[in-house]
Amino acid sequence: MSSLGRGSVGQGKKKVQISFIIRDEVEKYNRSGVNAIQHDPDLKRLYSAGRDSIIRIWDTRTKKDPYLKSMEHHIDWVNDIVLCCRGRIMLSASSDSTIKVWNAHEGTCMATLRPHRDYVKCLAYAKDVEVVASAGLDKTIYLWDVEELAALTSTNNNVKESKVHEKSSIYSLAINPPGTILACGSTEKAVGVYSVGVMDTRGPQDIMRLKGHTDNVRALVLNRDGTQCLSGSSDGTIRLWSLGQQRCVATYRVHDDSVWALQANESFTTVYSGGRDRRVWATDLLNPDYRTLICEEKSPILKLELVKGDTDYDSMWVATTDSTIKNWSLKNIQKRLSGEYDNENIKPVYTQPNSTIKGGSSIRQYHVLNDKCHILTKDTENNVALWNVLSARLIENLGKVSFEEEIKKRFKMVHVPHWFTVDLKIGLLTIHLDESDVFSAWVSSIRDLGINPPSEWEDCKINLGQQLLRALFEHWPKSHMYENQDGMREMADPLLFSVPEHTPILINTCDDGHGRAHFHPFLCRDADKETQQKCLNEEVPSWAAEVLAHKNMSQTVTKIAFFLLQYPNSGIKTAPKDRLSASDMIQVRKVIEHVYEKVLRQGVENGHQSGESGDHEKEAQDISKLAAEKVELLCNDQVLDANMDLRTVKHFIWKQSGDLTLHYRLLNR
């Protein structure tokens, strides 16, 4: 159970998944690693693109509570962001294979571009011409005119795109400010260079391949006039390429491990680099012997963002796989460049950052408890927490306790079939509901699940998936009113429980063979908004719509076949071996009653035809009591608890395939 769930890598035809995220209404802190950062020098804002799918805006002037706003529209890692048009427009690239256009000042999503067919890994921005390039694992580079993107509306949604195909997955991209030269780094281990003529309708022209790296190229920087290129690679080196000569003019081996982030000053004399070895170096490009260890982070470095001071860059934001973003001073770096060779004994120039934007914790491990309703999780700070899937809420924060101990402690001998999958890729619990198994879990009582249902539901069988779907779509008008067979409109049954209104819900459609996903995210409470309703009417898959809008819950309860035999030792005459069948949720108590009534009292019944036919209910209760006193059931020689249901018996006690065999035994009291 503690295995990590698979995400929604789609295959096959038209598969629709409904997912939701269990989270706080406002997620103020980065939950996971930060893939990209952008600094707006005018507003002194910092934008961070997190693996938690949220782009957050921070005020760099206040150190206490810098959080300003979240931009939440992606549903997977945000891999890169660029700030365009003097900070007005932001473009973001995500592993959900979309590019989104944002009004950066407002923090609202203006448009979503879906040309990519795989994760979009990187963006590059040509400031002078307001052109953005995007590329990713689909090996394709697209060029976008930002002004045009900013003008997109729901009616005007034509975009001119120009694209280039690479041979392998692209992990890095750079374009020079005038937008004439484009460089991309890929698992091909080479840097592809394109010339981009603004007036050229043919699109970017492949002009050279720069070979030399022995591993993936993860970071690229071009100088202003597009004559030089810096590349950082997983082979641990930084290379300086002369595009005129089409060759590598220098190799810098300052890192002990992969280089993942590069920045250069405008005059292209100093390169700042960070990588898997967690160190940030400044290296003099002309004289590679002169280099400085600026700082040492605690996690691998994903991105560097230089902040311009009065004259030159005077500080730098560093994003790592950890959720905290730090700002490091770059003052006096130039003077400290030294010719030391030994990487081991070098002390970083700065040990304390200028400022820190604190991050939160992300969930790293989960365990679905046997009731298939509660989930135990452990996060990056080793806090253990208990969540309830049905109510989509955190139940309890258990603090820093042993995860394994808690799992053991909360073990319950019940068996409920799987009906959802869990995903932790964004550092929060994401629950996926799939058509194939969402309705597989029936329970006879949800009281044990921490939910107090209305009294009339006390004894009803409940399908967990159905009830959860109803709760998720609580605000969708269609789910309140449904048409019965006569075409009459009826009110739906009351909800058993509800989920927090801020819960993000996602309808994820993999509708073609390319694994290309269409997704439709919305908040639970927004389902009644006009536009949302319209979308939902189209998007909600039929399997969900049926239980929501038509209440056509198929009552097909899984049956379990079993044999009921006399316990070998008891002295009762053996009944013929019948293969019985019952709902797999039926409790042992009921079987005991059955035994008592049908098997044991058979003879007696004939004698005195139940004289007091009046109080049936009471009689039933009596029988139940009597039965429990007189009979007990065994499976594999183990006496069964009357409250256990048959599937639990089969799963935990019978433990084998083939029909369950139960034995009954008379109690002599």
Partner 1 sequence: MLASVMVIADAESPGPLKKRPRLSLKVQKNNESKDVKVGKEETDQGGEKGKEVFEEENDVIERDLNKEENSKSVVPAAASLENLGNTCFLNSVLQVLRYTPGFLPGLELLYQEIIQVEKLRKQDVLNKEDAGVFEPLESNKSIHLVKDLYRLYKNMEQREENHEEKATSDVMSMAVKPQKLLNIIRELNPMFEGYLQHDAQELLRCVLSYLQDSEKDLFNIKKNVLEKLPNKEVPKNVIMDRFLSKCARLKSENQPQNVFHQPDILDQIEQSEAAKTSITQTTTPVEADTACLAQEEVFKMENVPNSKLRTTRTPRGKKQSEEQKSNQKTKQALKQNTPRSRKGCDEPDGTTESKGVECNGRRKNTETGTSEVSDSGTGEEKMETDCGDNKTVNGKVNGESGKKDKNGKQQTILGMFQNQKAGKRLGMSRTILRNSTAKSGAACQTSDGLVNGHCRDEPGLGKTEDVVKCKSAPALANGVVSGSPSKNQSSPRKPVVKLEKCDRVCNSPLKSVSAQLATQKLSPCKSGSSPSKGSPRDAKQRLDFVVTSENKVLNSINLKAIKTNFIEDLFLGKMMLRTKCCECENCRERIEDFHDISVPVRVEKTEESDDEEKEEDSDSCLRKLMFAFTEVERLRDDNKYFCDTCLSHVEAERSLHYQGLPNILTLHLKRFSTSSGMFGYVSKINDHVSIPLSLPCLRYKCPSPCSRPDHRYLLYAIITHAGVTLTSGHYLSYVHVPSNQVQGRESPRHFLSTPTRRYPGQWLECDDETVRVHDEESFLGMLQGEEGSLMGTPYVLFYHRNTPVSTWSV
**Is 476 within 8 Å of 548 (Cβ atoms)?**
yes
**Residue 219 sits in the site that holds partner 1 (CB under 8 A):** no
**Is 414 within 8 Å of 443 (Cβ atoms)?**
no
* Pairing state between β 489-491 and 442-443: unpaired
Q: Residue for token digits 């041979």?
A: 167
Q: DSSP for 118-165, please give it.
A: S-EEEEEEETTTTEEEEEETTSEEEEEEHHHHHT--SS------EEEE
Minimum CB distance to partner 1 smaller for 77 or for 403: 77
Least gap, CB of 424 to partner 1 (angstroms) = 5
* Strand partners for 46: 39, 58
Name the one range near partner 1 by CB under 8 A: 165-173, 391-399, 432-440, 458-466.
165-173
Question: φ and ψ at 43, to 5 degrees?
Answer: -90, 0
**Is 554 within 8 Å of 542 (Cβ atoms)?**
no
Interface pick for partner 1 out of 167, 253, 447, 655 (rule CB under 8 A): 167
Contacts with partner 1, 627-656, as mask; x by CB under 8 A: ------------------------------
Name the one range near partner 1 by CB under 8 A: 421-429, 458-466, 573-581, 616-624.
421-429
Least gap, CB of 143 to partner 1 (angstroms) = 22
User: What SS3 state is found at 527?
Assistant: helix
Minimum CB distance to partner 1 smaller for 258 or for 354: 258
**Residue 361 sits in the site that holds partner 1 (CB under 8 A):** no
Least gap, CB of 122 to partner 1 (angstroms) = 13
How far is residue 507's CA from residue 517's CA, in Å, rounded to a whole number? 10
How far is residue 160's CA from residue 4's CA, in Å, rounded to a whole number? 41
Interface pick for partner 1 out of 1, 2, 6, 572 (rule CB under 8 A): 6
Contacts with partner 1, 60-99, as mask; x by CB under 8 A: ----------------xx-----------------x----
**Residue 207 sits in the site that holds partner 1 (CB under 8 A):** no
Question: φ and ψ at 280, to 5 degrees?
Answer: -110, 125
Minimum CB distance to partner 1 smaller for 77 or for 102: 77
**Residue 141 sits in the site that holds partner 1 (CB under 8 A):** no
Order of strands, sheet of 504-510, starting from the edge strand that comes earlier in the sequence: 421-423, 429-434, 15-22, 504-510, 517-523
Angle between helices 464-472 and 542-549 (to 10 degrees): 80
Least gap, CB of 193 to partner 1 (angstroms) = 16
**Residue 321 sits in the site that holds partner 1 (CB under 8 A):** yes
The distance of Cα 107 from the centroid of its chain, to the nearest Å, equals: 22
Minimum CB distance to partner 1 smaller for 73 or for 121: 121
Query: Which parts of 436-465 interact with partner 1 (CB under 8 A)?
Result: none
Q: Residue for token digits 């009281």?
A: 447
Interface pick for partner 1 out of 30, 98, 223, 258 (rule CB under 8 A): 258
**Residue 169 sits in the site that holds partner 1 (CB under 8 A):** yes
Name the one range near partner 1 by CB under 8 A: 7-15, 330-338, 534-542, 597-605.
7-15
* Pairing state between β 228-233 and 238-242: antiparallel
**Is 594 within 8 Å of 642 (Cβ atoms)?**
no
Interface pick for partner 1 out of 87, 177, 500, 515 (rule CB under 8 A): 515
Interface pick for partner 1 out of 4, 198, 207, 460 (rule CB under 8 A): 4
The distance of Cα 177 from the centroid of its chain, to the nearest Å, equals: 35
Q: For partner 1, how many residues bind (rule: CB under 8 A)?
A: 31
Least gap, CB of 229 to partner 1 (angstroms) = 20
How far is residue 543's CA from residue 641's CA, in Å, rounded to a whole number? 36
Interface pick for partner 1 out of 53, 94, 172, 187 (rule CB under 8 A): 187
**Is 39 within 8 Å of 307 (Cβ atoms)?**
yes
Query: Which parts of 12-51 interact with partner 1 (CB under 8 A)?
Result: 51
Least gap, CB of 135 to partner 1 (angstroms) = 14
- What sign results for the dihedral spanned by CA atoms 15, 16, 20, 26? positive
Least gap, CB of 231 to partner 1 (angstroms) = 16
How far is residue 660's CA from residue 177's CA, in Å, rounded to a whole number? 73
Interface pick for partner 1 out of 425, 432, 589, 665 (rule CB under 8 A): 425
**Is 584 within 8 Å of 626 (Cβ atoms)?**
no
**Is 55 within 8 Å of 65 (Cβ atoms)?**
no
Minimum CB distance to partner 1 smaller for 276 or for 475: 276
Q: Which segments of 512-659 does DSSP mark as H helices, in order?
A: 530-539, 542-549, 588-594, 602-607, 616-630, 646-648
Least gap, CB of 362 to partner 1 (angstroms) = 8
Name the one range near partner 1 by CB under 8 A: 6-14, 438-446, 594-602, 655-663.
6-14
Least gap, CB of 665 to partner 1 (angstroms) = 40
CA end-to-end span of the chain: 43
Name the one range near partner 1 by CB under 8 A: 396-404, 423-431, 440-448, 650-658.
423-431
Least gap, CB of 118 to partner 1 (angstroms) = 7
Minimum CB distance to partner 1 smaller for 300 or for 360: 300
Query: Which parts of 364-383 interact with partner 1 (CB under 8 A)?
Result: 364
**Is 431 within 8 Å of 389 (Cβ atoms)?**
yes
Q: What residues contact residue 533 under an 8 Å CB cut-off, 6+ apart?
A: 476, 477, 478, 527
Minimum CB distance to partner 1 smaller for 187 or for 270: 187
Least gap, CB of 181 to partner 1 (angstroms) = 22
How far is residue 490's CA from residue 481's CA, in Å, rounded to a whole number? 6
**Residue 188 sits in the site that holds partner 1 (CB under 8 A):** yes
Closest CA to 132 of 92, 96, 191: 92
Residue ranges binding partner 1 (CB under 8 A)? 4, 6-7, 9-11, 51, 76-77, 95, 118, 137, 167-169, 171, 187-188, 211, 216, 234, 257-258, 276, 300, 321, 364, 424-425, 427, 515
